[in-house]
Amino acid sequence: MNTLLPYQGLLYKEWIKLRYLGLLPFALLLLALGESFYSMNNLHAASGGQSLWTQVLFRSRMYFERMQYLPLFTGIWLAGVQFLPECLNKRLRLFFHLPVHEQKALALMLGTGFALLLGFSALFCVVQAHIVSRFLPTEVAQLTVQTILPLCLSGFVAYLATVLVLIEQRPWRRCWHAMLGYVLATALCNLNGYGRYVDNLPVFALLALALLLGLPGVLDRIRRGLTW
């Protein structure tokens, strides 16, 4: 018997759920990146590079500010698309009747979501940096990436918090996860200056890891029939 067959079945199931809905955040990102390029190009053509430099360097103008909450939305959206169908009508208990261990099935689903978020984040950083570098020095493009990285991390935080809210059984635990995710994600989405949270990214990453480590325990409590 092919031992990979159950995993292939789970991956196919994820593909069915994400093949269309999973592309929505990428489409929105491409539209927003196009708007960013259009705005910078128009200002550069109308007033020259000096005006653009003044806007960015002295007024902290961010031409990606329309995408401020897009990674956060992407995390919530992908988590909902993946896990909401599994949690309706107590279908989550089917996890314990799969030919794959429930923790491995959860890890596969999370890995799929992380892969999409990573691709989204890479596209955001690379394309926006390229747009900035067309009009401004490379150092400004690097500073732009440093400012975007916390926004991208907010997507991972929102994804994990949403998954926890969906699979949890107790309302008070759901409220706790939602509150924690909200505090972390909104802090990461702060755009009060270039490179504001780049030095604190490891701390926020560890807090996001704490959310990730809480997921296996939820399935374990459900399997044992615990409701606290």
| DSSP annotation string for 199-210 | GGHHHHHHHHHH
205 contacts 156 by C-beta, under 8 angstroms:
no
Of 138, 154, 142, give the one whose Cα is nearest residue 191.
Answer: 154
Average pLDDT, the chain: 85
- Minimum mean pLDDT range among 96-105, 137-146, 150-159: 96-105
Q: pLDDT tens for residues 70-97?
A: 999 999 999 999 999 888 766 666 666 6
Higher per-residue confidence, 78 vs 104: 78
- In this predicted structure, what is the pLDDT of residue 216? 73
Average pLDDT of span 67-72: 95
Q: How large is the angle between the packed helices 24-47 and 70-87, nearest 10 degrees?
A: 170
Q: Considering the chain, what percentage of its residues have pLDDT values greater than 70?
A: 89
Give this prediction's pTM.
Answer: 0.90
Which residue would you say has higher pLDDT here, 155 or 3? 155
| Range with the largest mean pLDDT of 138-147, 193-202, 204-213 | 138-147
More confident site: 227 or 68: 68
What is the pLDDT, as a whole number, of residue 86?
82
pLDDT band at 227 (very low <50, low <70, confident <90, very high): very low
23 has pLDDT over 70: yes
Give 149-203 pLDDT, tens digit per residue: 999 999 999 999 999 998 887 888 889 889 999 999 998 888 777 777 777 788 8
C-beta separation of 79 from 163 below 8 A: yes
Res. 2: pLDDT tops 70: no
CA distance linking residue 197 with residue 204, whole number of Å:
9
**pLDDT above 90: residue 22:** yes
